[in-house]
Amino acid sequence: MRPNKIKQMWRDGKNVTLGWLSVSHGFTAEVMARQGFDALCVDLQHGTSELNDVLPMLQAISQTDTVPVVRVAWNEPAAIMRALDLGAYGIIVPLVNTAEEAAMAVAACRYPPVGMRSSGPVRAVQYGGADYQANANDEIVIMAMIETKEGLANLDAICATPGLDAVYIGPADLSFALGLQPRGDNPDPTHLATCDKILETAHKHGIKAVMHCASAAFAAGAVKRGFDMVMLTSDLACMIAGARLQLDALKAETA
């Protein structure tokens, strides 16, 4: 089976860079995949993509050695299994509140006898290799998002879930949970301390911690604080930032 570069890098003690796809288009996915991210996520929760968009976007990503990841819209086994069958090598599950919910997400990603994933890797076997089913349980990465009051209350139990590879911080919803205004790259001391607590708890249980960022500066700080993966930027954010940069430069030059 094609090895999962995310797991390889983690075994080597390296930090993983993750890019984000909010736009539902294969060409956008292809361009982002060629920029040098270690992994790239198709966002089905808040992006413009639907499940029918996933296949061509994963095919575009697969032209490179960038690891294809999907954030599903909800902790729903059928959607998780479908994304895996289409070739996702990593799954991000939002709004995980309890150890039971984390265990359900893990089970959907693992074939029996350790999980409940149904047999039918229609495209995954083409991408992963003929021995995909024999080795997928060891290669697929499953990440649970910690971003609610209930998730924080059950953090220790969630991180202790057998088979869970990482916890993923959603900073905006976590801000809600802490009584703060939602924002990315939140500098609030309470928010930062909570993120560090999530990181420490994950590492205590031998799993990884991921920070969703909105800038290189904040992502660099997260790496220095010990996070194992950072989501750096999205296709949409880059398009907006690039357009604003050129417009502002033009206005400055012609003022």
Contact of 139 with 159, CB cutoff 8 Å: no
What is the model's pLDDT at position 234? 98
The catalytic residue positions are 46
CA atoms within 13 A on the CB side of 36: 1
Q: Where do we find the tokens 């969630």?
A: 158
Low-confidence ranges of the chain (pLDDT < 50): none
Strands 39-43 vs 208-212: parallel, antiparallel or unpaired: unpaired
What is the model's pLDDT at position 27? 98
* Single-letter residue type at 16: V
Q: Both tokens of residue 173?
A: 């919803």
Q: Both tokens of residue 61?
A: 């990503």
pLDDT digit string, tens, across residues 104-116: 999 999 999 999 9
Burial 191-216 (b: 16+ CB within 10 A, else e): beebbeebbebbeeeebbbbbbbbee
Give kind and range of the element (H or E) at residue 60: helix 51-61
Q: Where do we find the tokens 């995949």?
A: 33
What is the model's pLDDT at position 165? 98
What is the model's pLDDT at position 22? 98
What is the model's pLDDT at position 33? 98
**87 DSSP assignment:** T
- CATH architecture observed for domain 5-254: Alpha-Beta Barrel (3.20)
Contact of 94 with 75, CB cutoff 8 Å: yes
Cα 53 from chain centre: 17
Helices 235-254 and 26-33, axial angle in degrees (round to 10): 80
**To 5 degrees, how large is the angle CA 21–CA 44–CA 18?**
40
The partner residues of 167 in beta bridges, in order of sequence, read 144, 209
What is the model's pLDDT at position 192? 98
Contact of 68 with 89, CB cutoff 8 Å: yes
What is the model's pLDDT at position 108? 98
pTM over 0.75: yes
